[in-house]
Copies of this chain bind each other. A is one copy, B any other.
């Protein structure tokens, strides 16, 4: 069954957030950041079903409040306005007013009710929004359905990211072609760096907002919530999905016979973006993927995977190309998951390091060679149950310290 699903989902190499039917995008430079685009919009021709998940941080930036209010009204969004360079966080009453003003200006620009507009911000926290740049910028936004305009949007949401993060997949549901695409920004605000993560996903699948929320929650727990750069959780994180319904499939619900195909489509899209974010973590030179099998259950497997991929000692060992299984087993031991201290198997790539918690003889040269790759897979079998899960992260490097220890001014 899993195989069947994978066959039906095709990566669209040149696809962008405007490839799904009904979507347009724009991105411009308003001067909040020095050079790169800093204001963008995704626009849908008609009100799109919307679902979103937000940071678990108790301290949440003003735009999150405004977006939650918009979605709560009808579950529909037609435009999402995003700026980078200023996070509008810890800005009090003024910040709230500014987020509402951004929503209103966007609604006016596209002649929409205000609650059809979502707002997202990323950048410096604690500084008032430069509204004298943002508002005139919003009035200049002219979204198009071109690859160029999508890439202008993709650039407009970046902060310390080194690369644009974009992906696109296609499948069929009820014999109709369904397309989904995503754009994300990752780890790091310009100053101070706070690992804000934003992801925007567009699709033309037909689905009601509450069903979309169900799918997003399920998939987020297996993708975006399984990456860690440095364990710090931002005040501004947001994942927003909009579906235009223009694929004209029968509306998706968990009872729909191809519900699993849609969830898998969303999972592929989110996993791609999540891995791109991890690989582009501040100072990172390598993507680390940890796969755990044989856990008590799936959530414990994810717990172990996240603990291992988040361990500073594992991260520095990978940076140093050191097959340091001692740090891996120690992280497993303090993960809080059910573990039998005598039954742990561990491999790096195809090289098995531990069997029943005991070191095997392996070639250090071969292991060091493997650890020089840009993607490192650590596989763990706890042999206590049938749970499995994955998590992604990156190595901890001199550059991480350099980026984060440098003065803001």
- Evaluate whether A326 and B401 lie within 8 angstroms (CB atoms) in the complex, with A312-B312, A357-B59 already known: no
- Evaluate whether A316 and B194 lie within 8 angstroms (CB atoms) in the complex, with A60-B341, A90-B358, A333-B235 already known: no
Assembly CA distance A192 to B364 (angstroms): 14
Q: Is the CB of A232 within 8 A of B92?
A: no
Q: Which of A170-205 contact B (CB under 8 A)?
A: 192-195
Q: Which residues of B contact A89 (CB under 8 A)?
A: 326
Assembly CA distance A164 to B341 (angstroms): 33
Does A162 sit within 8 A of B, measured CB to CB?
A: no
Q: Is the CB of B398 within 8 A of A90?
A: no
Q: Which residues of B contact A233 (CB under 8 A)?
A: 330, 333-334
Assembly CA distance A345 to B341 (angstroms): 44
Segment at the B interface, from A4-12, A244-252, A317-325: A317-325
Assembly CA distance A311 to B232 (angstroms): 7
Q: Which residues of B contact A396 (CB under 8 A)?
A: 401, 404-405
Shortest CB-to-CB span from A398 to chain B, Å, is 5
Pick from B195, B316, B358: contact of A404, CB under 8 Å: B316
Task: Summarize A's interface: helix, strand, loop or mixed.
Answer: loop
Q: Is the CB of B398 within 8 A of A330?
A: no
Chain A 348-372 interface 0/1 with B at a Cβ cutoff of 8 Å (1 = within): 0000001001110000100010000
Chain copies in complex:
2
Assembly CA distance A254 to B52 (angstroms): 54
Pick from B60, B90, B194, B326: contact of A313, CB under 8 Å: B194
Q: Which residues of B contact A57 (CB under 8 A)?
A: 330, 333-334
Assembly CA distance A397 to B409 (angstroms): 20
Chain A 32-62 interface 0/1 with B at a Cβ cutoff of 8 Å (1 = within): 0000000000000000000000001111100
Q: Is the CB of B192 within 8 A of A317?
A: yes
Q: Is the CB of B59 within 8 A of A341?
A: yes
Q: Which residues of B contact A405 (CB under 8 A)?
A: 316-317, 319-320, 322, 396-397
Q: Is the CB of B407 within 8 A of A326?
A: no
Q: Is the CB of A322 within 8 A of B407?
A: yes
Chain B residue at minimum C-beta to C-beta distance from A87: B326
Does A231 sit within 8 A of B, measured CB to CB?
A: yes
Q: Which residues of B contact A333 (CB under 8 A)?
A: 57-60, 233, 235
Does A408 sit within 8 A of B, measured CB to CB?
A: yes
Does A264 sit within 8 A of B, measured CB to CB?
A: no
Chain A 390-409 interface 0/1 with B at a Cβ cutoff of 8 Å (1 = within): 00000011101110111111
